[in-house]
């Protein structure tokens, strides 16, 4: 529910934002967001470390230890996050002007843009610690409510303020207002529901050591992921005008919204895997690969649905100019997103078992390949080659994961499972989506740029990919487990008698 609300509101507001800001100012806002992104390495790592430690200390007898973990996390969020935010406020704009060659009317309020973006990030950083309390307890209703409230406040403030003040700083300020709302709700709910587990900010040496032991490698992993996610935007900002960053940002927003939705579904596996550390290796491997198959099929169906309708979707959403420039990039980014889904379940498994070093290795290799490929193809082929590097990085990521899977489990016959549960769903999804796109392009008629036609074709595409995936799964040795898992999921939403 939280994902659907966030996607609908974010995608619905984007054309409004582009019309009132213009692509140049929207591109500047994207560059400011990319400049703030390195700070997310710290806040994301802190939130994950806190959630993992608290998930292992839910018993009443562990309350004092959990309170020390929480107090130390809040102290780190404020004590480290505060100076980071101050640095962004004062140094962000001069560095951005130097690195991205920003000038002109679109960048006149760059200083204010960094101020509101830095404050928004600090709210997000502190909020991550409080949300970790709910994540550890798998209280997804409250987590979803915080996310929904943040998105709703941000969206409606954009509707009210951007027409009055059409600047990049206004757009970023509305996002910061949403983050502040999320922080207030997270603090209020945690005080009311689990107030006895809270503590005043303090630095406890033993708690800090536990958080740091997991968090150091998680910082490295987040840094690699940041490099992978922002490499194209950094290079586009350094080499080209801000409007090209705007084109790329529009295409990436659609792909990213769908990809993050799949990732959010997979987040339920993090605390679940954390509780399985005492299970046998066979049991853990079985759950890992079955979860991988489910999420990979879901990712291939959802992201593959964007590929045949990329041009008409961008046309009806943001206009003919953006569609002409960004349709091919959206196709390539969607393919990269499908390939990147191979890392999701395995990444959560590694996090749950404290193996942040492996996650750091995956992210580092992915980021280096994306950055290196971007540095080669962007100057040679222009901004539309941006998605190529993402595909190259995801292929490298998949290869790294396959190697780590083999080294992680001492179980015979693991390769058929890798092929069946990881590689096959992704490959079938990409091939089916590209075949449907080719068939649609070769058809004697052209898809009308209207919401109903785009939605209908995308829905049919997702359904076809899903049916092909399920049919292919019945040709392998794990067909019974696949059907059993699909039936278990369906029964969560449909009464058993109805099926």
- Answer for the pair 161, 100: CB distance below 8 angstroms, yes or no: no
Its sign, for the CA torsion 298, 254, 115, 224, is: positive
Calpha distance 469→293 (Å, rounded)? 10
Query: How confident is the chain (499 residues) per 10-residue block, as mean pLDDT?
Result: 73 83 82 84 85 84 90 93 92 83 72 92 93 86 88 92 91 94 92 85 87 69 63 65 72 77 70 65 78 87 91 84 82 89 78 71 82 80 76 86 74 75 89 92 77 88 92 84 81 58
Q: Please calculate the CA angle 198-200-205 and round it to the nearest 5 degrees.
A: 100
Query: Residue written as tokens 């800090």?
Result: 208
Q: Which of 117, 94, 101 is nearest to 168 (CA)?
A: 117
What does the DSSP assignment read for 131-147? HHHHHHTT-HHHHHHHH
Q: Find tokens 């990409």 and name the residue.
A: 430
C-alpha–C-alpha distance, residues 182 and 124, integer Å: 8
Q: How far apart are CA 479 and CA 472, in angstroms?
A: 9
Q: Report pLDDT for 413.
A: 67
d(CA 282, CA 433): 34
Instruction: Give me 311's structure tokens.
Output: 């041009």
What are the tokens at 224?
């690699």
Length reported for the chain: 499
d(CA 102, CA 420): 49
What pLDDT shows up at residue 459? Answer: 92
The answer to whether the beta carbons of residues 218 and 359 sit under 8 Å apart is yes
Give me the residue spans of the domains in the chain.
1-203, 222-499
Question: Which pLDDT does position 344 carry in this prediction?
Answer: 77
Map residue 108 onto helix, strand or coil: coil
Q: How much is the pLDDT for 295?
A: 87
Cα-based distances in Å from 325 to 19, 86, 329, 379 = 17, 37, 8, 17
CA distance 33 to 13: 17
DSSP string over 299-314:
HHHHHHTTTTTHHHHH
> In the block, which residue shows the tokens 């008409």?
312
Spatial CA neighbour of 458 closest among 243, 220, 254, 224? 254
**The two structure tokens encoding residue 454:** 């785009």
Give CA–CA dist 34/237, Å, rounded.
10
Residue in the structure block whose two tokens are 């690195």: 99
Q: Are 219 and 287 in contact (CB under 8 A)?
A: no
């Amino acid at each position: 529910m939280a994902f659907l609300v966030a996607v609908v509101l974010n995608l619905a507001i984007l054309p409004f934002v582009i019309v009132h800001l213009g692509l140049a100012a929207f591109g500047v806002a994207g560059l400011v967001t990319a400049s703030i992104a390195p700070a997310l390495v710290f806040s994301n790592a802190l939130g994950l470390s806190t959630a993992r430690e608290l998930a292992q200390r839910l018993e009443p007898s562990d309350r004092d230890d959990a309170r020390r973990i929480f107090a130390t996390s809040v102290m780190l969020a404020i004590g480290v996050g505060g100076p980071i935010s101050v640095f962004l406020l004062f140094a962000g704009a001069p560095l951005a002007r130097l690195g991205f060659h920003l000038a002109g009317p679109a960048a006149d309020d760059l200083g204010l843009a960094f101020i509101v973006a830095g404050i928004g990030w600090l709210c997000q950083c502190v909020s991550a610690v409080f949300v970790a309390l709910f994540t550890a307890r798998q209280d997804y209703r409250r987590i979803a409510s915080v996310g929904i409230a943040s998105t709703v406040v941000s969206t409606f403030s954009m509707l009210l303020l951007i027409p009055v003040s059409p600047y990049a700083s206004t757009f970023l300020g509305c996002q910061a207002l949403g983050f502040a709302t999320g922080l207030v709700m997270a603090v209020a709910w945690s005080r009311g529901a689990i107030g006895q587990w809270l503590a005043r900010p303090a630095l406890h040496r033993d708690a800090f050591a536990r958080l740091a032991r997991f968090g150091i490698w998680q910082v490295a992993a987040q840094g690699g992921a940041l490099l992978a996610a922002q490499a194209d935007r950094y290079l586009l900002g350094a080499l080209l005008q801000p409007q090209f960053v705007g084109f790329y940002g529009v295409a990436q927003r659609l792909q990213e919204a769908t990809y993050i939705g799949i990732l959010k579904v997979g987040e339920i596996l993090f605390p679940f895997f954390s509780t399985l550390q005492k299970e046998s290796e066979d049991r853990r491997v079985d759950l890992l690969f079955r979860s991988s198959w489910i999420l990979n099929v879901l990712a291939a169906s959802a992201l593959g649905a964007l590929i045949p309708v990329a041009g008409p979707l961008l046309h009806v959403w943001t206009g003919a100019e953006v569609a002409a420039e960004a349709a091919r990039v959206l196709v390539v980014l969607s393919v990269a997103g499908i390939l990147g889904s191979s890392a999701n379940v395995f990444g959560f498994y590694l996090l749950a078992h404290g193996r942040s070093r492996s996650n750091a290795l995956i992210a580092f290799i992915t980021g280096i390949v994306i950055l290196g490929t971007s540095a080669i193809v962007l100057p040679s082929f222009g901004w539309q080659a941006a998605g190529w590097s993402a595909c190259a990085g995801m292929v490298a990521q998949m290869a790294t994961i396959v190697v780590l899977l083999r080294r992680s489990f001492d179980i015979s016959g693991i390769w058929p499972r890798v092929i069946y549960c990881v590689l096959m769903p992704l490959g079938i999804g990409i091939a089916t989506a590209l075949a449907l796109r080719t068939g649609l392009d070769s058809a004697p008629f052209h898809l009308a740029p209207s919401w109903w036609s785009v939605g209908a074709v995308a829905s049919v595409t997702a359904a076809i990919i899903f049916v092909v995936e399920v049919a292919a799964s019945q040709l392998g040795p794990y067909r019974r487990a696949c059907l059993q898992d699909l039936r278990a999921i369906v029964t969560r939403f449909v009464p058993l008698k109805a099926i």
